[in-house]
Structure 1
């Protein structure tokens, strides 16, 4: 009698079960990783607007040319959303609004991050809770309300 070669059905089912368990753990972790990396864009674009705010404050306004509302030069559009200057001098803010489009994590779609810009250029979390709707677990741990 010839010895059978190959895998049994039970062995194949065990392998499929192990792959399923690994996928159940890895996929949500990866989605969280992607959302955190997309949220980082907000801080990158905000850094670009800090220089604009410093220049604008020389005219006594948060906005370019002493305007009372944000102009085109007071906003930067990125891949996942738009950062816009706001506030009233000297308490300027930067609000990053995530857009609802393909490629943006479902955890971030239509959420926003509002940052207070300190006089030395440090970005702090706006103290009004409604101004930041992005889940806090996706934001850097160093992003806190100004002490």
Structure 2
């Protein structure tokens, strides 16, 4: 009969080293993927304000973008970012969304949508610190 042998110490150490190298590569990529997925919540939360600004432009015919502020012309009022809520504001036709003040990498990151003109159709331009972070 043949004697059954297990793995040597060197083989086990090589496998552990390979797993360690793969983890150092995969973990940052997974964190970025996870942050982008979480940040999509904030981008989606801008939709009601975007619709309200477009509706105000089409139905109220504002003369200047300064008229397009939160709390006026049917646009929802501004909300300040806190530990439990995201911030949302509309100022001069620009929607400014801010991630809540929590202990994540996303705290304080902004997403902006600027109405290019005040005549239909509205051409939106995105911006904010989310672009430099690769989140939007």
Structures share fold, TM-score greater than 0.5: yes
Q: Counterpart in 1 of 2:115?
A: 117
Query: Residues 87-140 of structure 1: CA distance to partner in whole angstroms, max 9, x if unpaired?
Result: 2xxxx00001112315x4x1x2222122202342443035xxxxx223525244
Residue 94 of structure 2 corresponds to which residue in structure 1? 93
Map 1:29-48 onto structure 2 (within 5 A). 29-48=29-48
Aligned residues: 123
Mapped to 1, the partners of 2:22 and 2:101 lie a distance apart of 30
**2:43–2:111 contact (8 Å) kept in structure 1:** no
Asked if the contact 2:79–2:89 (Cα under 8 Å) also holds between the matched residues in 1, the reply is yes
Unmatched 5+ stretches in structure 1: 127-131, 141-147
d(CA) in 1 for partners of 2:126 and 2:52? Answer: 19
Change in CA separation of 1:139 and 1:80 when aligned onto 2, cut-off 3 Å? farther
> Residue in 2 aligned with 1:83?
88
Pairwise CA RMSD: 3.1
Cα distance between partner residues in 1 of 2:43 and 2:109: 14
The residue number in structure 2 matching 1:62 is 68
Is 1:39–1:138's contact at 8 Å kept on the other side of the alignment? Answer: no
Give me the whole-angstrom Cα distance separating, in 1, the residues matched to 2:41 and 2:100.
12
TM-score by length of 2: 0.70
Offset, 1:75: 4.3
Q: Distance in 2 between matches of 1:20 and 1:133?
A: 33
- Residue of structure 2 in register with 1:129 after alignment: none
Q: What SS is found at the alignment partner of 1:138?
A: coil
C-alpha distance in 1, partners of 2:61/2:72? 7
> Quick one: higher RCO (CA 8 Å, sep 6+), 1 or 2?
2
